[in-house]
Amino acid sequence: MKRRRRKRLTRRLFAAIIQGDALRVRAALRAGAGPRWADAEGTTALYEAAVSGRTAIVRLLLEAGAPPDAESHGVGADGTPLCAAACWGFTETVRELLAHGADPNLREEGGAGRSPLDWADRGPHPETAALLTSAGAVRQDVSFP
C-alpha cells in the first residue's frame, strides 16, 4: 500500500475511534485500514479505543485481527490496551479484551511496569479489579510511585 493512502486510512480510522463511531471504524477497516496500525505518534488503534472505553470498537478491532496484548508507544498513550481500560474502570472493555485473549497479568513497559490489576486497584475500580481477579490476575508486591 502506498504511503499516502495508508496515512489517509490511518487518519480516517483514528478519527472514527476518537468520535466513537463504530460504523466508520468498520468502513475504514473494509477500505483497507489495518487493525494493528498506529498513528504518527505510535498510539495503536486498539489502545486508543480501550483507553476511551469504546467497547464496540475494541470488539471490531479485535475481530479484525488487532493483537490484544500489543503495547502502544504513543506520547502519553503508552501501555497495553488492557491496562488502559483497567486504569479508567471500563469493565465492559476489560471483559471484551479478556474474551479475546488479553493476558490479565501482563505488565506494561516490557514487563517492568504496572499490571492491569495494579491500575484497577489504583483507580480504585473494584468491579474491574474483581473481573481481572476472576480471569486469573494475581496481585504482586511491587511498589510504584
pLDDT digits 0-9 by tens, 16-30: 999 999 999 999 999
Tell me the percentage of the chain whose pLDDT exceeds 70.
96
pLDDT of 143 reads 62
* CA-closest candidate to residue 122, choices 77, 86, 79, 85: 86
Q: How far apart are the first and last CA of the chain?
A: 44
- Angle formed at CA 11 by CA 95 and CA 108, multiple of 5 degrees: 40
pLDDT for the residue numbered 76: 82
pLDDT bin (cut points 50, 70, 90) of residue 75 is confident
Q: How many CB atoms lie within 10 A of CB 62?
A: 22
Of 90, 97, 95, 89, the residue nearest 124 (C-alpha): 89
Q: Which residues contact 74 (CB under 8 A, 6 or more apart)?
A: 38, 39, 41, 42, 43, 44, 47
pLDDT of residue 20: 98
The pLDDT of residue 136 is above 60? yes
